[in-house]
Amino acid sequence: MNSPARVVTVLGSLHYDIMVTAPDRPRKGETVTGRSWHPKCGGKGGNQAVAAAKAGADCVMIGAVGADDFGQALLANLDRRGIDRGAVRVADSAGSGMSVAIFDADGDYGAVIVSGSNLTLGPADVEAANGLIARTSILLLQNEVPDAANIAAASAVKAAGGRVILNAAPARPLPDALKTLVDVLVVNAIEAEYLAGTPVIDTLDGAADAAGLLLSHFPSVVVTAGGEGVAYADRSGLAFALPGIRVKVESTHGAGDEFIGAMAAALARGVATRDAVSAGNAAAASLVGTPESERG
């Protein structure tokens, strides 16, 4: 590892994804003939760790996989990406997390996930990774693992002087014990609406309004609005919105995770907030414009 100031630690999910391309996504009771499929290593935690490492961060992963072929593939992917996976536990009691994602002709998708071993994560995993936590500048969390694991990790990183970014996805109630530990909340319009308890328009102006509303619960808020762009606000009074970068859409899958990983890597290097958000915006646009088959 290089300087501790660059370390991004991700506690989160690891999924083995089956990616299917089809003319459209099936409706209830409908069978659609697909064009192709391929496997991919994912999970919001895994995706964000890969994005942070790609953006230059020294990245540590805390997670769990099953004692199965999917688990071996997930571990090999972390190794290939240069991510420290010494704190990724092999669980005997559950299979690896996995998902099936179906992409339509426009590059949009729907997915089903089976969490598996990711739901076995807890405070003991954080305690086992205590040496890594002490070197963490930025901790990335999501909502695909138990709250107890997120709270334990956030508490440890805050005690060691690091910062906590929570990507509150998928949307679910957040315990107060976690909310009070979050430095930066990152959500899309749907998740912002859920947490704010009021309708959020999926536009850049809507994202900016939602970021302002959520400051009553979190000190800094990022609200993404897909291709429209991203908005930021914090309690110091800093607020800005960046328009999306126009690209030919190949696939929107993983764009939010790419944004978060790249932003976290920039923040860990000490980059100014606006520039870090801009770096995430550019990374997400680049990913959206890259076909799934060329993403590696």
Q: What is the pLDDT of residues 20-41, one digit of tens each?
A: 999 999 999 999 999 999 899 9
Residue 267 scores a pLDDT above 90: yes
Q: Identify the pLDDT of residue 44.
A: 96
| 115-166 pLDDT tens trace | 999 999 999 999 999 888 889 999 999 999 999 999 999 999 999 999 999 9
DSSP E strands: which ranges in the chain?
A: 7-11, 15-21, 36-42, 58-66, 84-91, 97-103, 109-114, 138-142, 163-167, 184-188, 220-224, 229-234, 239-243
CB 207 within 8 A of CB 196: no
Q: Identify the pLDDT of residue 1.
A: 41
Q: Kindly calculate the radius of gyration of the chain based on its CA atoms and give it in whole angstroms.
A: 18
Range with the poorest average pLDDT among 100-114, 174-188, 236-250: 100-114
Q: How confident is the model at residue 292 (pLDDT cuts 50, 70, 90)?
A: confident
For residues 73 and 71, give the distance between their C-alpha atoms in angstroms, rounded to a whole number: 5
CB 232 within 8 A of CB 273: yes
Q: How confident is the model at residue 296 (pLDDT cuts 50, 70, 90)?
A: low
Q: What angle do CA 264, 190, 221 make, to 5 degrees?
A: 35
Question: 0.75 cut: is pTM over it?
Answer: yes
Rounded mean pLDDT, 102-106: 89
Q: How confident is the model at residue 291 (pLDDT cuts 50, 70, 90)?
A: confident
Range with the poorest average pLDDT among 62-71, 128-137, 166-175: 128-137
In terms of Cβ atoms closer than 10 Å to its own Cβ (0-12, 13-18, 19+), residue 71 is buried
Q: Identify the pLDDT of residue 223.
A: 98
| Residue 289: CA count within 13 A, CB half-sphere | 12
Rounded mean pLDDT, 237-258: 91
Residue 2 scores a pLDDT above 70: no
Cβ-based neighbours of 254, under 8 Å, separated by 6 or more? 42, 47, 287
In terms of Cβ atoms closer than 10 Å to its own Cβ (0-12, 13-18, 19+), residue 239 is middle
Spacing of C-alpha 276 from chain mean position:
16
Residue with tokens 């496997």: 39
Q: Identify the pLDDT of residue 108.
A: 82
β-pair partners for 26: none
In terms of Cβ atoms closer than 10 Å to its own Cβ (0-12, 13-18, 19+), residue 33 is exposed
Q: How confident is the model at residue 281 (pLDDT cuts 50, 70, 90)?
A: very high
Query: Checking DSSP bridges between strand 239-243 and strand 229-234, what pairing results, if any?
Result: antiparallel
Rounded mean pLDDT, 192-217: 95
Q: Identify the pLDDT of residue 87.
A: 97
Rounded mean pLDDT, 278-293: 91
| Chosen CATH of 4-12+45-93+118-182+245-294 out of 3.40.30.10, 3.40.1190.20, 3.40.640.10, 3.10.310.10 | 3.40.1190.20
Rounded mean pLDDT, 268-289: 96
Q: How confident is the model at residue 111 (pLDDT cuts 50, 70, 90)?
A: confident
Share the mean pLDDT of the chain: 94
Q: Identify the pLDDT of residue 271.
A: 96
In the chain, % helix, strand, coil (3-state, to 5) comes to 40, 25, 35
Range with the poorest average pLDDT among 1-10, 11-20, 157-166, 219-228: 1-10
DSSP track, 37-75: EEEEEE-HHHHHHHHHHHTT-EEEEEEEEESSHHHHHHH
Rounded mean pLDDT, 253-268: 95
Which positions are catalytic?
257
